[in-house]
Structure 1
Amino acid sequence: MQDILLISIRTIILYFLIWFIFRLMGKREIGELSILDLVIFMMIAEIAVLAIEEVEDHLLHTIWPILLLTILQMTLAYLSLKFQSVRRFLDGKPSLIIINGKIDEGAMRKQRYNFDDLMLQLRENNIDSIQDVSYAILEPSGKLSVVEKENKRKHAALELPLIADGVVQHDHLKQINKNEQWLRDELAKRGYHQLDEVSFCSFNQKTFYIDLKDEVRKKS
């Protein structure tokens, strides 16, 4: 009876502790969790289970590693927000799997992504035929984002980020056969002369979308 009471108390304490920790980590859908998030969550869950079973072990021996994992996750999450290189190292970057109705097998091999996975996720996006796809992008979370062809005859324009977190995306510029000087000239025409003032800039073959750093905060 005493063991049952002790297990119940430890379970309740750990429940509220983990609930509080997950609230601190921010709200994200399960499908959007990064590899780092999944590793942290799995380790916390395993530690919590062991703590409930090992009633003779002091509860602080469980709470400390959970808090340490939380600090680690929040620190890396903060660094990934500040530095694109850290974010790409931890989460990876999106990969173009289908381009104008053609499959990039090399990108699939690089991501260890097979045709069964591709067809499954296309069906989940209500796509009946690969020919109807203008672009399919495999996100770092493993989710497949699909852009259908307009009217299933002409290609939809893919919006490519050219600047993210103030950093020029040279690989995206290369995809549209442009360079950094072209980007600087186009932004200058629109009144943006300093790239380090631009937080995000994208281009969809027709128009630019430009967002300055802390633009919303400055207006409010």
Structure 2
Amino acid sequence: MFYFDVALKLLLGFLALILVINLTGKGNLAPASASDQVQNYVLGGIVGGVIYNPDITIPEFMLILVIWFMLVLSLRWLKKHNNLVKRWVDGKPVLLVSKGQIDVKAMKQVDLSAHDLSFKLRMQGIYTIKDVKQAILEQDGQIIVTLLGEKNPKYPLITDGVIQQTTLEMIDKDENWLLDELKSQGIEDVSKIFLAEYNDGQIIVTK
């Protein structure tokens, strides 16, 4: 009976994982944010901590999975419809290096040491800060680097109706310039833009 309960709990946990992946997208297989990683860790902890515990019945385990499932979906919905929640939960890209100069305040803000930054740059074959035009820490912990002399990477100017100030700084533009460019394309409401990219002096918009 014990082994039957273990097998059934494991099966329920496996089905819960498949259900969440299919309802929330394949992004959970390669988490792009801290919250995506945490939800996977929590599910692993729930399944691992419950399947060998005979004191937790199958109905109780199913209730735990339902609560976890509702929390995941609720948080995902809030992140999608509320930019403040998304920024609070996942954070935002942080500009660490600009034109060969390290932003020490930003480094301390993300709790990144000089050794950590140097190590991450060396992994990309970069051995001096002076060669770095821009270095941005993404939400998943990766550092994206643009070297001096390279073209600006095609970072989005607007995602999900939100203007990306870091990208504007990278191309030496401001928000007023962006709004004027959008108006020239007949776009008045930024919130209606799904994605806007800057490429070779042009703004490519997907509403």
Equivalent residues in 2 for 1:178-193, closer than 5 Å: 178-180=174-176, 182-189=177-184, 191-193=185-187
Q: Partner of 1:45: helix, strand, or coil?
A: helix
Contact 1:121 1:144 in 2 (8 A): yes
Distance 2:116 2:30 in 1: 15
1:216 matched residue in structure 2: none
2:44 matched residue in structure 1: 45
Query: TM-score, normalized by length of structure 1?
Result: 0.77
Does 2:160 match 1:165? yes
The number of aligned residues is 205
1:217 matched residue in structure 2: none
Greater mean deviation of Cα atoms: 102-111 or 11-20: 11-20
For structure 2, list consecutive stretches of 5 or more residues without a partner in the other structure: none
Cα 1:167–1:23 change in 2 (3 A) is: closer
1:139 matched residue in structure 2: 138
Does 2:11 match 1:17? no
2:193 matched residue in structure 1: 198
Distance 1:146 1:129 in 2: 12
Distance 2:147 2:165 in 1: 25
2:53 is matched by which residue type in structure 1?
Answer: E
1:207 pairs, out of 196, 201, 207, with 201
**C-alpha distance after superposition, 1:42-87 (max 9, x if no partner):** 2222221222121242112112222222222122222322332221
1:80 matched residue in structure 2: 79
Q: Partner of 1:53: helix, strand, or coil?
A: coil
Query: TM-score, normalized by length of structure 2?
Result: 0.81
Q: Partner of 2:92: helix, strand, or coil?
A: coil
Cα 1:3–1:199 change in 2 (3 A) is: closer
**C-alpha distance after superposition, 1:146-195 (max 9, x if no partner):** 1122xxxx354355644332344567657736342x33333333x32423
2:114 is matched by which residue type in structure 1?
Answer: F
For structure 1, list consecutive stretches of 5 or more residues without a partner in the other structure: 214-220
Distance 2:68 2:124 in 1: 35
- Residue identity over aligned pairs, in percent, reads 26
Equivalent residues in 2 for 1:59-70, closer than 5 Å: 59-70=58-69
Q: Partner of 1:28: helix, strand, or coil?
A: helix
